[in-house]
Amino acid sequence: MRCNRDSFGRLLCAVTVGALALAPLAANAQDTTTTAATDSTTTMATDSAMSMEPQLVNGQVVRYYVDRSGYVTAMDVQTPTGINMVHFAPNMGQRLYTTYPVGGQIAVWVSPSSMGTGHWNAVGIGTARPATFMQAYTVSDVDALEADPYIIAGSKMVNVKGTLSRIIVGNTGEVLALALQDGTIVRVPRELRHIAPGYAGSDRITPLFRGATVNAVGYMEAPMYGVLSPYMGRLAANAISVNGRNVGALGMPMMTKDMQKSLLKTDVMGTTMSNEEMAAMGMGYSTYTPGGAMSGTGSTNPAEGGAGTTSSTPATQ
C-alpha cells in the first residue's frame, strides 16, 4: 500500500492497514456466529421434527363434532391419559363415522395440533404405520365459510324459504350464515355483512331472531365427497330478506356472544353438557347427533350421507 509522507497521510495509512488487519478476524467471528446460529437452528428444527412425529393413538370414540361450516370435522377420543379432541378434514367425516361409531374403538395416527394441549390432527387411520402420512387439515371452519363457494356449471338460481333456527358467526362477530329449520344453510355474501356494532338497532341493520322467516335467492353449492353434515343443503345466497324485508344497507348485525346465545339451539347453561362439550362450544363446535339435533332434521343430501332432496324452488326470473 502506498502512503503519503505527511503526518496526516501516515495517520490515514495506519488506520487503513489496521482495518485491513482486523477484517479477517471480524469475518472469522461472523462466520463462527453464523455457524453457531445455523447449528442452533438445525438443532431446533430437529427437535421440532421429533416432537411432530406422528403417534398411534388407541381409544374409544366419545362423540363427534360439527364445526361452524356445518361439517363433521372433529371427535373426542377417550385414551388412558384422558379425553382428547382429534381434528380431521371434512371429506373424512363419513368414513370415520361409519368405521368408528360412537362407543367403538379407534386406532388413528395423530400429530400435535396448533390448537394446543388436548388437540390432535389425524394424519393416518388404522394400526399399521402408513408409508406416507396425510397432511394435517388446518383450514378453519371460518375460512371455509368465507371462501368462495363451488357451484356446478350450468346450475340454475333457486329460491329457499324457511324459518331461522340458528346463526353461524365468525370470530369477529360477523354473521357468516343462517341455518333454517328445514336443514338448509344460507351463506351470507360479503356485501351483506358488516362490522359496525355502533349501528345496532338502526333501521339500516336487519334484525335477526329465532323464528324469523328467511327468504334467500342464490345457487346451491356443489356437493362434497365423503362429508358428513346435519344440514340437507347449502345455498350461496345473492340476496336475502328477513320477514319480508330485504337486508338493510349495512347488512346483518354484528353479533356479540350474548346476542348469539338467544339464537343458538343449545343448552347454554351446560346442565346436560360435559366439560369437553362446553369447551368445544366455545370454539364454535356443536355435538353431532344422527337425525340432525342441530337443525331439526337429518342430512338428506345424498352427497352428505342422506337420501332425500333439498327443499328449494327455481327462482323467478
**pLDDT in the model for residue 39:** 43
> Residue 305 above 50 pLDDT?
no
**pLDDT in the model for residue 259:** 55
- Between the ranges 29-33, 56-60, 167-171, where is the mean pLDDT highest? 56-60
Stronger pLDDT, 203 or 42, i.e. the higher one: 203
> Residue 203 above 70 pLDDT?
no
**pLDDT in the model for residue 253:** 76
What distance in Å separates the CA atoms of residue 119 and residue 32, rounded to the nearest whole number?
40
Mean pLDDT for the stretch of residues 232-254: 85
**pLDDT in the model for residue 302:** 30
**pLDDT in the model for residue 156:** 94
**pLDDT in the model for residue 200:** 57
**pLDDT in the model for residue 315:** 65
Contacts of 120 (CB under 8 A, 6+ apart): 57, 84, 85, 86, 87, 110, 111, 112, 113
**pLDDT in the model for residue 10:** 43
Mean pLDDT for the stretch of residues 15-40: 41
> Residue 2 above 50 pLDDT?
no
Count CB atoms within 10 A of the CB of residue 262.
12
Confidence tier at 196 by pLDDT (50, 70, 90): low
User: How much of the chain exceeds pLDDT 70, in percent?
Assistant: 66
> Residue 260 above 60 pLDDT?
no
Mean pLDDT for the stretch of residues 275-304: 66
Contacts of 10 (CB under 8 A, 6+ apart): 3, 4
Q: What is the model's pTM?
A: 0.71
For 127-158, how does the pLDDT look when each residue is reduced to its tens digit (9 = 90+)? 999 999 999 998 889 888 888 899 988 999 99
For 269-286, how does the pLDDT look when each residue is reduced to its tens digit (9 = 90+)? 445 788 999 999 888 899
Confidence tier at 8 by pLDDT (50, 70, 90): very low
> Residue 244 above 70 pLDDT?
yes
Angle at Cα 292 formed by Cα 255 and Cα 145, nearest 5°? Answer: 40
**pLDDT in the model for residue 272:** 76
Beta bridge partners of 216: 160, 240
Q: Which of 14-28, 189-203, 228-242, 292-306 has the lowest mean pLDDT?
A: 292-306
> Residue 87 above 90 pLDDT?
yes
Look at the block and give the residue holding cell 394400526.
127
Confidence tier at 166 by pLDDT (50, 70, 90): confident
Please choose, from the candidates 242, 266, 239, the residue with its C-alpha nearest in 3D space to the C-alpha of residue 163.
242
Q: Residue length, the chain?
A: 317
> Residue 287 above 80 pLDDT?
yes
Mean pLDDT of the chain: 75
DSSP track, 72-123:
EEEEEEEETTEEEEEE--GGGHHHHHHHS-TTSEEEEEEEE-TT-TTEEEEE
Rg (Cα) of the chain, in Å, rounded? 29
Contacts of 36 (CB under 8 A, 6+ apart): none
Mean pLDDT for the stretch of residues 184-193: 89
Stronger pLDDT, 52 or 114, i.e. the higher one: 114
